[in-house]
């Protein structure tokens, strides 16, 4: 008799965004005449930057000729892309990251979900609440948690994000092995300064823990004092793995390209306390289970770092930030406390009621989709997340509808 991984039975029946999509589809079936505006899942709507499109076309043409055709590439990514990433995203900011510490992949979601596989099952994981559900769910799947009781998995160290701490949780008091951090934050849009981030790095070094730092929304940072990478903090390379994505940076949600940074200095330990480089473990995993991102996609990603590509990506992120500002201003004017939206495409709104009720109100009366905060964890109850990823005209229309509904409510 074949047996299942029973850890899966501890999970909620469906992934948050799949659940929302199902509800929205049911609403659309019931009201086929209504034009629903989606500000729920953070999916981009604008076309790829012209520099990326051009590089894509050129690479496809190379694949069409025998002399320039390419089969399997290096699993970790082509040198031409890894070099550019290391130089532009890290070395230019004073972070000493080398090209061979970059692992190109098909998504930060996959990397975030896969990385925990190289750590022991019996470690304790510290996870913020509210949180991007992937961090938590993949640890549940791996058997690092107990049952789901009262909105929380037993055995997880939850780090509460509240209005009081500006949704930047305090350092955990418990003994923890893996710590998940995400800045600019998904879902709250909160950011972290260098001094505060240094406290986390120092904490991880003192405890021999590892920080999994998700910086997928780095492109939206405008405040010059905010760190773009955890490696801007001294000593972070010993204790941190960082995740980045071209999804939000260059509109690659449907194109798929991301990367993780695993510095050679980053160290974890055997049960006997022997130090082991995480780089070697991740390298082994990546080269065994992954066959690389396609050549044209990597060429398109490399074009992000050309002078035109950089300018076009900046323009793209400015476009979504303009939406974010509009959303935040409108909701604030209506008297709702908001955070995020200035260095982030997400606006976290205190909706002053049950977050699913607010979700239903917006869907049914304004025909606008948001994401209920409680879907990101217990501390998200009473909040919703509104995403700035949509066309500006649609965001304007959504805000007009929301204004009418909330004024009348
Ligand atoms: C989100 O809406 O939280 C993101 O789009 C999810 C993701 O990037 O996987």
Q: How far apart are the first and last CA of the chain?
A: 56
Site to probe by mutation for ligand 1, drawn from 24, 43, 255 as the one with most ligand atoms within 8 Å of Cβ, is 43
At residue 409 the predicted structure's pLDDT band, cuts being 50, 70 and 90, is confident
Q: What integer is the mean pLDDT of 199-216?
A: 98
Q: Is the pLDDT of residue 353 over 90?
A: yes
Cis peptide before 184 (omega within 30 of 0): yes
Ligand 1 atom nearest to CA at 253: 8
Structure token digits, residue 312: 């076009």
Q: Give the total residue count for the chain.
A: 409
Segment 3-26, tens digit of pLDDT:
999 999 999 877 889 989 999 999
Q: Ligand 1 centre from 354 Cα, in Å?
A: 22
Compute the chain's Rg from CA coordinates.
21
Quote the DSSP letter at residue 331.
Answer: H
Q: What integer is the mean pLDDT of 146-162?
A: 95
pLDDT on residue 14: 77
Q: What integer is the mean pLDDT of 252-277?
A: 98
At residue 98 the predicted structure's pLDDT band, cuts being 50, 70 and 90, is very high
Q: What integer is the mean pLDDT of 258-282?
A: 98
* Other beta carbons within 10 Å of 78: 19
Q: Are strands 267-269 and 275-277 parallel, antiparallel or unpaired?
A: antiparallel
Ligand 1 atom nearest to CA at 186: 3
- Residue 380 CA to residue 376 CA, distance in Å, equals 6
- Residue 155 CA to residue 146 CA, distance in Å, equals 6
- Residue 347 CA to residue 338 CA, distance in Å, equals 6
pLDDT on residue 408: 87
Reported as half-sphere exposure (CB side, CA atoms, 13 A), residue 188 has a value of 31
Strand partners, 386: 347
Ligand 1 atom nearest to CA at 41: 2
This model's pTM is above 0.85: yes
Q: What integer is the mean pLDDT of 121-148?
A: 97
> To 10 degrees, what angle do helices 307-333 and 50-63 make?
130
Residues having CB closer than 6 A to ligand 1 are 41-43, 109, 132, 186
Q: Is the pLDDT of residue 401 over 80?
A: yes
Q: Ligand 1 centre from 247 Cα, in Å?
A: 9
Segment 366-393, tens digit of pLDDT:
999 999 999 999 999 999 999 999 999 9
Q: Is the pLDDT of residue 219 over 90?
A: yes
Q: Are strands 383-387 and 371-372 parallel, antiparallel or unpaired?
A: antiparallel
- Residue 109 CA to residue 243 CA, distance in Å, equals 9
Ligand 1 atom nearest to CA at 247: 8
Reported as half-sphere exposure (CB side, CA atoms, 13 A), residue 293 has a value of 29
- Residue 79 CA to residue 17 CA, distance in Å, equals 35
Q: What integer is the mean pLDDT of 273-287?
A: 98
pLDDT on residue 290: 97
Q: Is the pLDDT of residue 260 over 80?
A: yes
Structure token digits, residue 51: 């520099």
Q: What integer is the mean pLDDT of 133-139?
A: 96
- Say if residues 340 and 190 touch (Cβ distance below 8 Å): yes
At residue 246 the predicted structure's pLDDT band, cuts being 50, 70 and 90, is very high
Q: Name the average pLDDT for the chain.
A: 97
Q: What integer is the mean pLDDT of 347-367?
A: 97
- Residue 108 CA to residue 266 CA, distance in Å, equals 19
pLDDT on residue 150: 87
- Residue 297 CA to residue 53 CA, distance in Å, equals 10
- Say if residues 266 and 239 touch (Cβ distance below 8 Å): yes
Q: What integer is the mean pLDDT of 235-258?
A: 98
Name all domains of the chain by residue range, CATH numbers in brackets. Answer: 6-46+310-408 (3.90.1150.10), 53-307 (3.40.640.10)
> To 10 degrees, what angle do helices 307-333 and 392-408 make?
10
Structure token digits, residue 360: 């239903």
Which residue's alpha carbon is nearest to atom 6 within ligand 1? 42
* 268-291 exposure pattern, b = at least 16 Cβ within 10 A, e = fewer: beeeeeeeeebbebbbeebeeebe
């Amino acid at each position: 008799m074949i047996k299942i991984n029973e850890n899966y039975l501890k999970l909620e029946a469906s992934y948050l965004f799949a659940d929302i999509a199902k509800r929205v589809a049911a609403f659309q079936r019931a009201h086929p005449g209504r034009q629903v505006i989606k500000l729920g899942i953070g999916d981009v709507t604008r076309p790829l930057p012209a520099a990326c499109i051009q590089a894509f076309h050129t690479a496809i043409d190379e694949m069409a000729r025998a002399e320039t055709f390419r089969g399997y590439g290096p699993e970790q990514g082509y040198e031409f892309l890894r070099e550019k990433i290391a130089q532009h995203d890290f070395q230019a900011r004073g972070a000493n990251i080398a090209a061979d510490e970059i692992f190109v992949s098909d998504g930060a979601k996959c990397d975030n979900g896969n990385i925990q596989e190289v750590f022991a099952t019996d470690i304790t994981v510290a996870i913020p609440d509210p949180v991007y559900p992937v961090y938590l769910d993949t640890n549940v799947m791996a058997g690092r948690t107990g049952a789901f009781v009262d909105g929380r998995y037993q055995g997880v160290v939850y780090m509460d994000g509240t209005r009081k701490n500006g949704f930047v949780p305090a350092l955990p008091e418990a003994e923890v092995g893996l710590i998940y951090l995400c800045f600019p934050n998904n879902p709250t849009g909160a950011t972290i300064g260098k001094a505060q981030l240094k406290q986390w790095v120092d904490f991880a070094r003192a405890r021999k823990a590892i920080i999994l730092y998700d910086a997928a929304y780095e492109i939206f940072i405008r405040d010059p004092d905010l760190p773009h990478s955890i490696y801007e903090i001294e000593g972070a390379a010993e204790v941190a793995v960082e995740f980045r994505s071209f999804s939000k940076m260059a509109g690659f949600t449907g194109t798929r390209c991301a990367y993780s940074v695993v510095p050679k200095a980053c160290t974890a330990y055997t049960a006997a306390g022997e130090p082991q480089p995480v780089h070697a473990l991740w390298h082994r995993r990546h080269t065994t289970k992954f066959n690389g991102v396609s050549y044209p996609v990597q060429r398109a990603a490399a074009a992000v770092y050309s002078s035109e590509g950089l300018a076009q990506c900046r323009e793209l992120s400015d476009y979504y930030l303009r939406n974010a500002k509009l959303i935040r201003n409108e909701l604030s004017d209506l008297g709702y406390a908001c955070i995020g939206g200035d260095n982030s495409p997400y606006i976290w709104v205190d909706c002053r009621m049950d977050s699913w009720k607010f979700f239903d109100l917006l869907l049914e009366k304004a025909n606008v989709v948001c994401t209920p905060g409680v879907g990101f964890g217990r501390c998200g109850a009473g909040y919703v997340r509104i995403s700035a990823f949509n066309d500006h005209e649609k965001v304007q229309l959504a805000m007009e509808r929301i204004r009418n509904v909330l004024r009348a409510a």
